[in-house]
């Protein structure tokens, strides 16, 4: 008996076999059906899907044989994997490699063997689909072709198993990444909420003291003007802090507390407070409302914060040396109110506009003008408020220069989350 030599690149071959994770697995009909068909087409009592491991050959599927494996030393398939094509032994008694092989001299008394190699995607021969008989014989050309075709189907099943394992691995990695990101987000949100809470008290104190100083008419005008700027700046920071807190909970539904109110009155209040902010600067501000149905059902506080955030944004990007900011309200059709905030700051590229209301602009988005700087928790909060009320928000050019933020709200939203 001659033991088969070890193939070239044997470590790589064994690694390819291990990657399929098929050794010592339970029977599967996908393989057993092909083995039965091979035995029937070739007219043999035994057919096997044999995989050649480091020291054994293990049978993934077997017909006519009880043993699940044999040693590699006596394996016919260990010889077959040294060949590219079908390996045939017509009569083992006449072949010096096998005539005294224990599988020939004892059970199962093999006299005929034919095996087609099973190749991995990388080209390594992992084992065979083989047929065996107790008498010497030959395969017809049709039988040999059928055995090789069935071998390709066994290869396909092995490749499906390999791809399935790869998909499972990627899914496990993706799941681990999602869980890690979720943990980081929870940590970030928890830290942000702590910071926000720590900021609220000192900001409130600063605002109160600045308002107190501003109310003292006997103080010099420059002192009262500085106090006014501190108060207005504090109000802006307070809105930013509130928006940061809302942005940290962007995955949770926005809970609104709705009531009916006059939207033109609300916008007049916003315009009054904002016009005070522009005093002492060279920026110009105007306000106009043309609404015939002023009563709206919405969350008044949230809607005010959203409009304040849009004005903050436009004020920040309108040049210190001058420029116009405009707050407009109109009724494009019955049942809808439209609010526009116009400024004469830098434009936002059309390709970047869909991302302006995201909490972060992706790096792939063009950074012309004020795109990335424009994206902020305030704008992200605006979108959440508008969408929570069944409306929509977008960006346009403000011709001949500048940017317009537009929002539309139904006067009577069909579904509003009540809190």
Q: Which of 194, 214, 247 corresponds to the end of one domain?
A: 247
Query: 4 lies in a domain?
Result: no
Judge whether 419 lies within some domain: no
Global confidence as pTM: 0.51
CATH number for position 374: 3.30.565.10
What's the rounded Cα separation, in Å, for the pair 232 and 229? 5
Q: 10 Å Cβ neighbour count for 391? A: 20
CB atoms within 10 A of CB 241: 18
Which tokens go with 63?
């017909």
75-92 pLDDT tens trace = 999 999 999 999 999 999
394 has which bridge partners? 406
Span 217-243, mean pLDDT? 75
My answer on whether 239 and 274 are in the same domain is: no
- Of the chain, the end-to-end C-alpha distance in Å amounts to 86
CA distances from 163 to 49, 153, 177, 406 (A): 20, 15, 21, 49
Name the pLDDT band for 363 (thresholds 50, 70, 90).
Answer: low
d(Cα 112, Cα 64) in Å, to the nearest integer? 14
Name the domain boundary from 205, 223, 247: 247
Predicted confidence (pLDDT) at residue 154 exceeds the cutoff of 50: yes
Integer Cα distance of 4 and 383 in angstroms? 72
Q: Domain check: are 96 and 216 in the same one?
A: no
Q: Which domain holds residue 327?
A: 259-410
Give the residue from 226, 247, 268 where a domain finishes. 247
Average pLDDT (231-238) is 72
Structure tokens that stand for 226 in this block: 């500085």
CATH code for the domain in which residue 85 is found: 3.30.450.40
136 and 275 belong to one structural domain: no
* CA–CA dist 306, 289 (Å, integer): 17
What pLDDT digit, counting tens, does each position of 247-287 carry?
666 566 777 889 999 999 999 999 998 887 777 677 789 99
| % of the chain exceeding 90 in pLDDT | 58
388 within domain boundaries: yes
252 is a domain residue:
no
Counting the structural domains of the chain, the total is 3
Interval 326-340 mean pLDDT: 95
| 20 and 105 assigned to the same domain | yes
Q: What is the mean pLDDT of residues 130-147?
A: 97
Same domain, 217 and 192: yes
Name the residue with tokens 């009916």: 260
333 shares its domain with 272 = yes
Whether residue 18 is found in the same domain as residue 118: yes
Return d(Cα 228, Cα 234) in angstroms, integer: 10
Average pLDDT, the chain: 87
Higher per-residue pLDDT: 7 or 192: 7
104 with 30, same domain: the answer is yes
**What's the sign of the alpha-carbon dihedral 174, 177, 183, 188?**
negative
Per-residue tokens: 108: 């199962």
Helix axes 377-388, 221-247, angle to 10 degrees: 60
State mean pLDDT over 237-254.
Answer: 64
Q: Which two tokens stand for residue 221?
A: 């005008």
Query: Do residues 268 and 241 share a domain?
Result: no
Contact call for residues 401 and 312 (beta carbons, < 8 A): no
Tens of pLDDT, residue by residue over 294-313, are: 999 999 988 998 998 899 88
Decide if 128 is inside a domain: yes
Of the candidates 414, 412, 314, the one whose C-alpha atom is nearest the C-alpha of residue 370 is 314
Say if CB 62 and CB 45 are below 8 A apart. Answer: no
Task: Answer yes or no: is 418 within a domain.
Answer: no
Please tell me the predicted confidence (pLDDT) of residue 368. 43
Domain annotation covers residue 166: yes
| Per-residue pLDDT at 223 | 84
326 and 223 assigned to the same domain: no
Q: Which residue has the higher pLDDT, 117 or 188?
A: 117
- Asked if the structure places residue 62 within a domain, the reply is yes
What pLDDT score does 319 carry?
Answer: 64
Q: 351-376 as b/e, with b when 16 or more CB fall inside 10 Å?
A: ebbebbbebebeeebeeebbbbebbb
pLDDT bucket at 367, cuts 50 / 70 / 90: very low
Please check whether residues 150 and 183 belong to one and the same domain.
no
Q: Which residues pair with 325 in a beta bridge?
A: 285
What digits encode the pLDDT tens for the residues 84-122? 999 999 999 999 999 999 999 999 999 999 999 999 999
Residue 94 and residue 65 in one domain: yes
297 or 207: which leads in pLDDT = 297
């Amino acid at each position: 008996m001659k033991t088969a030599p070890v193939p070239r690149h044997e470590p790589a071959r064994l690694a390819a076999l291990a990657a399929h994770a098929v050794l010592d697995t339970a029977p599967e009909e996908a393989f057993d059906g092909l083995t039965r068909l091979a035995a029937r087409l070739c007219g043999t009592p035994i057919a096997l899907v044999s995989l050649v491991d480091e020291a054994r050959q293990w049978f993934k599927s077997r017909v006519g044989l009880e043993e699940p494996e044999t040693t590699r030393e006596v394996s016919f398939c260990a010889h077959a994997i040294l060949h590219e094509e079908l390996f045939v032994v017509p009569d083992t008694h006449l072949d010096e490699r096998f005539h005294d092989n224990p599988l020939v001299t004892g059970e199962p008394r093999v006299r005929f063997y034919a095996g087609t190699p099973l190749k991995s995607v990388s080209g390594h021969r992992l084992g065979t689909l083989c047929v065996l008989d107790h008498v010497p014989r030959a395969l017809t050309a049709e039988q040999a072709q059928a055995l090789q075709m069935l071998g390709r189907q066994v290869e396909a099943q092995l490749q499906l198993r390999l791809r399935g394992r790869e998909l499972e691995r990627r899914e496990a990695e993706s799941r681990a990444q999602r869980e890690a990101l979720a943990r980081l987000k929870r940590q970030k949100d928890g830290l942000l909420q702590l910071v926000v809470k720590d900021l609220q008290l000192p900001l409130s104190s600063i605002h109160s003291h600045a308002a107190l100083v501003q109310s003292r008419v006997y103080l010099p005008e420059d002192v009262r003007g500085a106090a006014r700027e501190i108060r207005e700046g504090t109000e802006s920071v307070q809105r930013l802090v509130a928006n940061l807190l809302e942005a940290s909970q962007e995955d949770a539904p926005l809970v609104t507390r709705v009531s009916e109110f006059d939207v033109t009155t609300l916008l007049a209040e916003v315009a009054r407070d904002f016009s005070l902010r522009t005093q002492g600067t060279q920026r110009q501000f105007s306000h106009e409302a043309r609404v015939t149905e002023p009563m709206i059902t919405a969350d008044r506080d949230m809607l005010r914060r959203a409009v304040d955030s849009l004005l903050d944004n436009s004020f920040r990007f309108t040049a210190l040396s001058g420029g116009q900011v405009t707050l407009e309200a109109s009724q494009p059709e019955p049942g809808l109110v439209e609010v526009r905030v116009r400024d004469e700051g830098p434009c936002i590229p059309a390709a970047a506009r869909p991302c302006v209301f995201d909490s972060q602009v992706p790096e792939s988005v063009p950074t012309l003008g004020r795109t990335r700087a424009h994206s902020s928790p305030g704008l992200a909060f605006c979108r959440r408020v508008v969408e929570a009320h069944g409306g929509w928000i977008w960006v346009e050019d403000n011709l001949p220069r500048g940017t317009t933020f537009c929002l539309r709200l139904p006067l009577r939203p069909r579904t509003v989350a009540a809190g």
